[in-house]
Amino acid sequence: MLPDRDWNCCHATLENYAMHLNALFPRHPVPALNVPLTTGGRFVLGAAPAERFDLVVFYRGLHCPICAKYLLELERLAPEFATRGVEILAVSSDDEERASLMVQKIKASTVKFAYGLNLKSARQWGLYISASRGKTSIGIEEPALFSEPGVFIVRPDGTLYYGAVQTMPFARPQFQDLLGAIDFAIAKDYPARGEYTGDV
């Protein structure tokens, strides 16, 4: 048990941190996203929306071996998403060099990769931020600060349909499951849930 003085200090720090977190609500507009692409040009969310959904996948960075495995699966299933009218963006706070190395690592040819995510923008999306612990298990240095994973499905009108954020690299939404969910949503015209913001 922490002494009262230490607990009060810790609690105040957490309250201050919580003030900077942002929860996104289904059926409401998502924050702006304007990031450079590894192939050149920029991705501006909403400028050329997908037919049905934009799938935005925030990953930790080149240093994360679990991210590479996760993105390999995304690249494998990218044609399946495309047939459903879903366009994909993978983005991190890595710089251009590290993002390009991730593209090479997973041999991405379909998934668009963006880089240079501003950490203030990451916070606006409700992402958690971690500090470096040095080199990871694959010998790559973590950035001083970086965003943790998040997966968002955005409607063409710019509102949130689905969102999930993680504090850790583990136990992320599986893309095969998301394909099934999208099939159901299309077939049943299923609305975004979790939309209630009133008193409880």
Q: How confident is the model at residue 10 (pLDDT cuts 50, 70, 90)?
A: very low
What ranges do the domains of the chain cover?
21-188
- DSSP of 103-118: HHHHT-SSSEEE----
**Is the confidence at residue 1, as pLDDT, over 90?**
no
Q: How confident is the model at residue 18 (pLDDT cuts 50, 70, 90)?
A: very low
pLDDT (tens digit per residue) in 135-171:
999 999 999 999 999 999 999 999 999 999 999 999 9
* Architecture of the domain made up of 21-188: 3-Layer(aba) Sandwich (3.40)
**Is-contact 103 113, C-beta < 8 A?**
yes
**Buried/exposed code over 133-145 (b: 16+ C-beta within 10 A; e: otherwise):** eeebeeeeebbee
Place of tokens 């309250």: 15
Q: With 0.85 as the threshold, say if the pTM is over it.
A: yes
